[in-house]
Amino acid sequence: MTTYEADIRALLESRVEASRSKDIDRLMSHYSDDIVYYDAVPPLQFTGPDEVRANFLRWFGEYEGPIGLETHALTVASTDADIAFAHMLHLDSGTRKNGMNMGIWVRSSVCFRRSDDRWLITHEHISLPIDPKTLQAWLPPGM
C-alpha cells in the first residue's frame, strides 16, 4: 500500500467515525472549501461547506443515537501525487426518529486533492441502489 493510499484510508475511517458519533466539526474538517456534494436527497447537489454541513446535520437529525455506518468494498486509486479517488459501499443503519430500526445501502464515490501535504475531499457522490421492479430503495436482507 502506498503512503497516499494509507493516508486516504485513514481519512475515510476518520470520516466514518465522525459520522457515527455525529461529530460535525470533525466530519467537516475532511472537506475542502470548494466541496461539491451530490446526495440522494433533494436538492441533490450541495455546494460549499455551509450547504454540506447543513445536509449532514439533517442526516444526523434523522437518527436517535449514533449512526451505524460500515464501509464495504473500498477501492482507492490515484492519478498523480495530488489527486486521488475512492469508491465504496456503505451500510447506513440505526434507529430512526420514528422508532424504526433499519439499514440502507448507499454507494459513494469520493474525489480528493492534496494541498499543503493534506488530503481533502473536493467531490462526493452518494447514490441509493434501487430495486428496478419496485423502484424502491434496495434494503439489505433482514432489514
- The range of the structural domain enclosing residue 25 comes to 3-137
Residue 65: which CATH number?
3.10.450.50
Rounded to an integer, the average pLDDT of 30-53 is 97
Query: Which band of pLDDT confidence, cut at 50, 70 and 90, is reported for residue 143?
Result: very low
Asked whether residue 114 is assigned to any structural domain, the reply reads yes
In the predicted structure, residue 14 carries a pLDDT above the cut 70: yes
pLDDT score recorded for residue 102: 86
Asked whether residue 70 is assigned to any structural domain, the reply reads yes
pLDDT in tens, 43-83: 999 999 999 999 999 999 999 999 999 999 999 998 778 99
Beta-bridge partner residues of 136? 131
Instruction: Indicate the number of domains in the chain.
Output: 1
Beta-sheet strand order (sheet of 63-80): 45-47, 31-38, 118-127, 101-115, 83-96, 63-80
pTM: 0.91
